[in-house]
Amino acid sequence: VTGKNMFSVPHTVNPTTGIFVVGVHFVGVDHLVFDHNEVYDSGIFAAFFSNVTYARITNNYIHQPKPLTALKFTDGIHFIGPDSFLWIQNNRVNAGDDSIALNADDGNRTDSGDPNYANSQFPGVKWGWITDAHIDNNTLDYSYFGLRLYGATELIDRVSVTNMSGTACGITASLEGLTKLGSGNFGKINIDGWTLQTDGTCDSYKEPYNFLVSSNYVDLRISNVSIANPGVNWPVFTQTRADGGILSLRNWDLNTQTSTFSNVI
């Protein structure tokens, strides 16, 4: 893998075709089991899935060499809709972009942005809803972004995230609306058990948020959060735009022994 992507980052694309080189790539699979694998130093996404149902992504070690390379798109576990009934558990991830991503309207949809470039026109990858996903007991060694839920008009619903731990240098979790195409369409998102925190050192992105919300949602619940020294001058929960339904923040333990911490919300 020697070709350069649109940001002139080397070792990302096939130099002949110009297409991104992923680690593993599954499109259109029913009853997928991806278990006890190691994926190291992929060109871009380490593990990429689209149009899958009843998928078990478990007990994998997905990692990039350090130092991480910005703008290389080395996501850890990356889903583009449509996808349903996902079980993502006991994985260890170190990623140069999103560690775990559920992207409903990304892919080959016009004007969707990353990764909608000539480099990423993968056959068979479209876009669509993502429903019934359980993300449990995953550890992030280090990453630019931790958990990223991303969509415009397609539904992302019934997502449960439990026992997330580790460290990020940028955003720990984001629920984002794809602003060019829509404000997001999130149903019920439940996060329960969270010790993942950021050290705010991703200077290339300059977004060291903890929880960042910019999408419409019906029901967002974040409980049992334990963060010692958030370490960056941003609130722990930030909502920048969009219409919120039920917002529940319960059982938060914030040990803020640093002068750079601003406020909770």
Query: One digit per residue, pLDDT tens: the chain, 265 residues?
Result: 789 988 899 999 999 988 899 999 999 999 999 999 999 999 999 999 999 999 999 999 999 998 888 889 999 999 999 999 999 999 999 999 999 999 998 867 877 765 556 777 787 888 999 999 999 999 999 888 899 999 999 999 999 999 999 988 888 999 999 888 999 999 999 999 999 988 878 755 556 678 999 999 999 999 999 987 665 657 788 898 889 899 999 999 887 766 556 677 7
Q: What confidence score (pLDDT) does residue 148 get?
A: 95
This prediction has a pTM of 0.94
Q: Is the dihedral of CA 243, 251, 236, 69 positive or negative?
A: negative
C-alpha–C-alpha distance, residues 128 and 52, integer Å: 11
User: Is there a contact between 116 and 122 (Cβ–Cβ < 8 Å)?
Assistant: no
Q: What confidence score (pLDDT) does residue 159 get?
A: 98
Number of H-type helices and E-type strands within the chain: 0, 16
Half-sphere exposure in the Cβ direction for 201 (13 Å, CA): 10
C-alpha–C-alpha distance, residues 247 and 33, integer Å: 34
Asked whether the bond before 65 is cis by omega within 30 degrees of 0, the reply is no
User: Is there a contact between 203 and 171 (Cβ–Cβ < 8 Å)?
Assistant: no
Q: What confidence score (pLDDT) does residue 125 get?
A: 86
Q: Is the dihedral of CA 64, 68, 73, 79 positive or negative?
A: positive
Closest CA to 67 of 11, 5, 142: 142
C-alpha–C-alpha distance, residues 185 and 84, integer Å: 16
| Residue tagged 């669509």 (tokens) | 128
| Residue tagged 């871009």 (tokens) | 44
Closest CA to 194 of 244, 235, 242, 138: 138
Q: Buried b / exposed e across 54-73, counting CB within 10 Å, b at 16+?
A: ebebbebbbbbeeebbbbbb
How is residue 118 annotated by DSSP?
A: G
